[in-house]
Structure 1
Amino acid sequence: MQTEIYLDTNATSPVLPAAAAAAMAAMQDGFGNPSSSHATGLRARALREGVRASAGRIVGAGNGRLMFNSGATEGIQTAVLSALCAVRERRARGEPCGDVVLIGATEHKAVPESLAHWNRLLGTGLELRVLPVDGDGRHRLDVLRALAPRVAMVCTMAANNETGVVSDLRGIEAVLHETGSDALWLVDCVQALGKLPLDLAASRIDYAPFSGHKLYAPKGIGMLYVRQGAPYTPLMCGGGQEDGQRSGTENMAGIAALGAVFAALERGDTFRDAAALVACRARLMTALEAALPGIVFNAPLAQSLPTTINFSVPDVSSATLLDLFDAAGMRVSAGSACSAGKAASSYVLDAMGVPAWRSAAAVRLSFGALQGDAALDLACERIARCGAVLATPMQADGAEPAHDCQTDTTVLVAADAARDWLAAHPDAIVIDVRDLREHSVAGDVRLHGRAVQNVPLACFAGHAPSWLGATAPLLFVCRSGMRSARAAHALRAMGHPDAWSLVGGFALAT
Structure 2
Amino acid sequence: MEIYLDANATTPVLDAARSAALSAMAEDFGNPSSIHSTGLKARALIDRVRGQASRLLGAGNGRLLFLSGATEGIQTAVLSALHALRARRAAGDTTAELLLYGATEHKAVPEALKHWNDLLGLGLQVQAIPVGTDGRHDLAWLKAHAPRAGLVCTMAANNETGVISDLDGIEAALAGSACFWLVDGVQALGKLPLRLAERRIDYAPFSGHKLYAPKGIGLLYVREGAPFTPLMAGGGQEGALRSGTENMSGIAALGAVLEALEDGKSFRDHATLVRFRDQLAAALQQAFPGLVFNAPLAHSLPTTLNFSVPGLASRLLLDLFDAAELRVSGGSACSAAKAQPSFVLQAMGLPDEQTASAVRMSFGPAAEEAFIVEACERIRVCGETLRENCLAPAGNQALVGDGITRFLLDGECGWLLADATSRRCIVIDPPAALAERLAQQLRCQGYPVVAVLQTGPQAEGAEALRAAVPELLAEETGEAWALGTQTLRRLALSEGRCAYLLDQRVAFAGRATAAELGNAVLPATLLAPAIDTDNRIASTPSSALARTAGPAPSLDPAALQALLREHPEALLIDVREPFEQRLGQTPTLETAVRIEAMPISRLLNALPAWLAMPAEQPIVFFCRSGNRSQVAAQLLQRLGHERAYSLAGGLALWPQRAAVADPALYV
Establish whether TM, by shorter chain, passes 0.5.
Answer: yes
Deviation at 1:407, TM superposition (A): 7.7
The aligned runs of 1:51-70 (5 Å cut-off) are: 51-70=49-68
Structure 1 residues 66 and 420, CA gap change in structure 2 (3 angstroms): farther
Deviates more, 1:470-479 or 1:282-291: 470-479
Deviation at 1:331, TM superposition (A): 0.4
Where 2:651 maps in the other structure, the secondary structure is helix
Structure 1 residues 306 and 410, CA gap change in structure 2 (3 angstroms): same
Aligned to 1:413: 555
Deviation at 1:40, TM superposition (A): 0.3
Over the residues paired in the alignment, what is the CA RMSD in angstroms? 1.7
Q: Distance in 1 between matches of 2:558 and 2:587?
A: 16
Aligned residue among 230, 240, 251 for 2:236: 240
Is residue 2:589 matched to residue 1:448? yes
Aligned to 1:135: 133
Deviation at 1:315, TM superposition (A): 1.0
- Cα offsets for 1:331-388 (capped at 9, x unmatched): 0001375558xx4221100111111111111000001112222222211111111101
Q: Distance in 2 between matches of 1:416 and 1:222?
A: 39
Contact 2:230 2:241 in 1 (8 A): yes
Deviation at 1:502, TM superposition (A): 1.0
For 2:170, give the aligned amino acid.
I
Structure 1 residues 451 and 235, CA gap change in structure 2 (3 angstroms): farther
TM-score of the aligned structures, taking structure 2 as reference length: 0.73
Q: Distance in 2 between matches of 1:371 and 1:270?
A: 9
Contact 2:549 2:637 in 1 (8 A): no
Aligned to 1:489: 634
Aligned to 2:405: 397
Deviation at 1:160, TM superposition (A): 0.3
The aligned runs of 1:37-56 (5 Å cut-off) are: 37-56=35-54
Where 1:334 maps in the other structure, the secondary structure is coil
For 2:324, give the aligned amino acid.
A
Contact 1:295 1:311 in 2 (8 A): yes
Q: Distance in 1 between matches of 2:82 and 2:594?
A: 61
Contact 2:552 2:633 in 1 (8 A): no
Contact 1:241 1:250 in 2 (8 A): yes
Aligned to 1:32: 30
Deviation at 1:487, TM superposition (A): 0.5
Deviation at 1:427, TM superposition (A): 2.2
Q: Distance in 2 between matches of 1:407 and 1:126?
A: 53
Aligned residue among 589, 595, 604 for 1:461: 604
For 2:310, give the aligned amino acid.
P
Aligned residue among 219, 226, 231 for 1:223: 219
Deviation at 1:222, TM superposition (A): 0.3
Contact 2:102 2:130 in 1 (8 A): yes
Q: Distance in 2 between matches of 1:437 and 1:78?
A: 47
Structure 1 residues 175 and 460, CA gap change in structure 2 (3 angstroms): same
For 2:349, give the aligned amino acid.
G
Where 1:354 maps in the other structure, the secondary structure is coil
Structure 1 residues 417 and 31, CA gap change in structure 2 (3 angstroms): farther
Is residue 2:434 matched to residue 1:438? no
Aligned to 2:284: 288
Deviation at 1:100, TM superposition (A): 0.3
Q: Distance in 1 between matches of 2:50 and 2:275?
A: 32
For 1:47, give the aligned amino acid.
L
- Cα offsets for 1:396-417 (capped at 9, x unmatched): 7225795369983452112454
Where 2:289 maps in the other structure, the secondary structure is coil
The aligned runs of 1:99-138 (5 Å cut-off) are: 99-138=97-136
Task: Determine which structure has the larger helix proportion and give its number.
Answer: 1
Where 2:282 maps in the other structure, the secondary structure is helix
Q: Distance in 2 between matches of 1:349 and 1:382?
A: 26
Aligned to 1:5: 3
Structure 1 residues 281 and 83, CA gap change in structure 2 (3 angstroms): same
Q: Distance in 2 between matches of 1:16 and 1:452?
A: 39
For 1:162, give the aligned amino acid.
E
Contact 2:70 2:186 in 1 (8 A): yes
Q: Distance in 2 between matches of 1:407 and 1:192?
A: 52
Where 2:100 maps in the other structure, the secondary structure is strand
Aligned to 1:148: 146
Where 2:188 maps in the other structure, the secondary structure is coil
Structure 1 residues 339 and 195, CA gap change in structure 2 (3 angstroms): closer
Q: Distance in 1 between matches of 2:620 and 2:42?
A: 52
- Cα offsets for 1:262-304 (capped at 9, x unmatched): 0000001101111100000011111111111110110101100
Aligned to 1:87: 85
Where 2:191 maps in the other structure, the secondary structure is coil
Structure with higher RCO (Cα < 8 A, 6+ apart) = 1
The aligned runs of 1:194-273 (5 Å cut-off) are: 194-273=190-269
Structure 1 residues 240 and 367, CA gap change in structure 2 (3 angstroms): same
Is residue 2:317 matched to residue 1:175? no
- Cα offsets for 1:474-498 (capped at 9, x unmatched): 1111111111110011110000111
Q: Distance in 1 between matches of 2:95 and 2:109?
A: 21
Contact 1:415 1:502 in 2 (8 A): yes
Q: Distance in 2 between matches of 1:105 and 1:407?
A: 47
Aligned to 2:654: 509
Structure of larger gyration radius: 2
Q: Distance in 1 between matches of 2:563 and 2:67?
A: 44
Q: Distance in 2 between matches of 1:199 and 1:156?
A: 16
Q: Distance in 1 between matches of 2:147 and 2:549?
A: 57
Deviates more, 1:422-431 or 1:194-203: 422-431
Query: Identity across aligned pairs (percent)?
Result: 57
Structure 1 residues 27 and 289, CA gap change in structure 2 (3 angstroms): same
Aligned to 1:480: 625
Deviates more, 1:412-421 or 1:61-70: 412-421
Where 1:431 maps in the other structure, the secondary structure is strand
Q: Distance in 1 between matches of 2:549 and 2:128?
A: 43
Structure 1 residues 215 and 407, CA gap change in structure 2 (3 angstroms): farther
TM-score of the aligned structures, taking structure 1 as reference length: 0.95
Deviation at 1:470, TM superposition (A): 1.9
Where 2:153 maps in the other structure, the secondary structure is strand
Q: Distance in 1 between matches of 2:149 and 2:185?
A: 21
Where 1:479 maps in the other structure, the secondary structure is coil
For 2:319, give the aligned amino acid.
D
Q: Distance in 2 between matches of 1:338 and 1:218?
A: 21
Structure 1 residues 420 and 44, CA gap change in structure 2 (3 angstroms): farther
- Cα offsets for 1:204-235 (capped at 9, x unmatched): 10000000000000000001000000000000
Q: Distance in 2 between matches of 1:335 and 1:245?
A: 33
The aligned runs of 1:284-363 (5 Å cut-off) are: 284-335=280-331, 337=335, 343-363=339-359
For 2:185, give the aligned amino acid.
C
Contact 2:329 2:336 in 1 (8 A): no
Where 1:276 maps in the other structure, the secondary structure is helix
Structure 1 residues 345 and 410, CA gap change in structure 2 (3 angstroms): closer
Where 2:219 maps in the other structure, the secondary structure is strand
Q: Distance in 2 between matches of 1:311 and 1:397?
A: 30
Deviation at 1:446, TM superposition (A): 3.8
